[in-house]
Amino acid sequence: MAISKAQQRAVAKYTRANYDEITVRVPKGEKGMIKAHADSMGESVNAFIGRAILEAMARDKGGK
């Protein structure tokens, strides 16, 4: 089922209002490794990166 232009605009507007965007660049070849790991954990690349960031922040604060 095709998505209408109005629906695309509505999703884009919602995304702009509710999410910040961060661009991550990795060396050639690492993207596939990251995606494979995320898939093996049953999550998206975005979810994996977000989880990794939150876990590192908690670890850096001493688990607080």
In a domain, 6, yes or no: no
In a domain, 40, yes or no: yes
Residue 64 has a pLDDT of 54
In a domain, 8, yes or no: no
26 CB-near residues (< 8 Å, 6+ apart): 34
**Between residues 6 and 63, the one the model is more confident about:** 6
In a domain, 36, yes or no: yes
**pLDDT 10s digits, 9-43:** 999 999 999 999 999 999 999 999 999 999 999 99
Number of domains in the chain: 1
Domain, as residue range, for 49: 26-64
| Whether the predicted pLDDT of 60 surpasses 80 | yes
In a domain, 63, yes or no: yes
Residue 16's alpha-carbon distances to 7, 11, 56, in angstroms, are 14, 9, 26
In a domain, 55, yes or no: yes
